[in-house]
Amino acid sequence: MSHCTPDLLAGQQAELTAIRRDIHRHPETAFEEERTSQIVAEKLQSWGIEVHRGLATTGVVGTLKGKRPGQKAIGLRADMDALHLQEKNEFEYASSIPNKMHACGHDGHTTMLLGAARHLAAAPDFAGTVHFIFQPAEEGLGGARVMIEEGLFERFNCDTVYGMHNMPGFPRGHFAIRSGPMLAASDSWEVTFKGTGGHGAMPYRGTDPTFVAGQFIVALQGIIGRNVPPTQASVLSVGHIAAGTAGSPNVIPSEVLVRGTARSFTPEVRDLLERRMGEVATGIAQAGGCAADYKYLRRYPPLINAAEQTTVAVEAAALTVGRDKVEPNTPPVTGAEDFAFMLEKKPGAYIMIGNGGPDEGGCHNVHSPLYDFSDAILTTGAAYWVNLVRLELGDA
């Protein structure tokens, strides 16, 4: 079987760079990716790929059948959305829209998948069907979940699904993946502690929810240290506290709101965090004569790579850049990704592609106002997708 390399796609470099920079200059946030999805749809159509639009408002699915007969179908997914962030880069293709920026490289992800679609459409030497899935709203609003709810996999049957994300700080064009849990579940929670409050000089005449909230914040780390098995990673962080008024430091407030994030890698630990936080909040509140209103909001599930498809992804990456540039057992990352919703429905694998290390100028982290996707890896990512299709749909 012939395999694809970045060099083989070098003829696409200029066009892909132009597409990527155009999208970068015109960032669009969750469910508003009108211009971006228009570009995607037009490009796919111009290469003879069947295009379906409208899933999750701005989602685009391109369907390409191989020239050899085959029943198998696979889904390749890229995200299209930008972030609410003011870009601080000063290059000519920097964001033209205030407070919106492609700071997570989704401009690059979209372009890499377009590059693969173009190459495969020109030479559909595979058996079966590829669905190129361009999703909106990866950042926080779960566009992948919405596409699934609106019938993505009923309308476009996929036996397996694959995703890819760039990784700053990791050598350009190298790949990293692991079988099993790779990214964390990302959930939100909040507790409102309610007491009587009162005069700051006479706390004994009431109940003090700030005293209770303080103990709760410390006790959270006891859940991590004493309840979660030490071989399992998890995180509880407080991100927001609100109580009282700045002008009244001598008043004990009657309510304290504490909000934060919870990260875990398995359904079991996720359940444990949800249950124990509620128990600890209620117990400490009770001891302090207060009440606790507790809410736990499940946002993104853990991203779990299937063993078989992880092996296919490793092989595809090795064919693309050589086995020495592929890390098949990278540690899990406590970030989250809504591709996890697709992996709950279909077996598949999600891989990281290096965006450049410190000496390659590509190490500003994602979500930094100085981040940029490296155009040097556009053909690498596209070649990976092509190899993946050929491996998955090599024979009828």
Site stretch for Zn ion (CB under 5 A), options 42-50, 96-104, 173-181, 241-249: 96-104
Nearer to Zn ion, 104 or 391 (CB): 104
Residue 104 is a binding residue for Zn ion (CB under 5 A): yes
- How much helix, strand and coil, in percent to the nearest 5, is found in the chain? 40, 25, 35
Residue partners of 315: CB distance under 8 A and separation at least 6: 387, 391
Q: Which residue stretch of 98-106, 110-118, 123-131, 198-206 sits at the interface with Zn ion (rule: CB under 5 A)? A: 98-106
To the nearest whole angstrom, how small is the minimum distance from the Cβ of residue 348 to Zn ion? 17
Alpha-carbon span 56 to 40, nearest angstrom: 15
Other Cβ atoms less than 10 A from the Cβ of 365: the count is 13
Nearest CA among 122, 125, 118 for reference residue 70: 125
Number of residues located near Zn ion, criterion CB under 5 A? 1
- Closest of 37, 16, 27, 38 to residue 136, by C-alpha: 37
Side chain identity, residue 257: L
Min dist CB 102 to Zn ion, Å, is: 10
Cα 237 to Cα 217: distance, rounded to the nearest angstrom? 9
User: Of the listed pieces 104-112, 187-195, 203-211, 290-298, which binds Zn ion according to CB under 5 A?
Assistant: 104-112
Q: Is residue 11 classed exposed, middle or buried when 0-12, 13-18 and 19+ CB atoms within 10 A define those classes?
A: exposed
Least Å distance, CB 78 to Zn ion, is 10
Name the minimum Å distance from CB 116 to Zn ion: 18
From the list 102-110, 270-278, 322-330, 385-393, the region that binds Zn ion by CB under 5 A is 102-110
* Rounded least distance, CB 106 to Zn ion, Å: 6
* 208 versus 338: smaller Cβ distance to Zn ion: 338
Give the residue with the Cβ less far from Zn ion, 104 or 388. 104
Q: Which is nearer to Zn ion, 109 or 390 (CB)?
A: 109
**Amino acid occupying residue 72:** K
Cβ closest to Zn ion, residue 104 vs residue 158? 104
Q: In the complex, which residues of this chain contact Zn ion (CB under 5 A)? A: 104
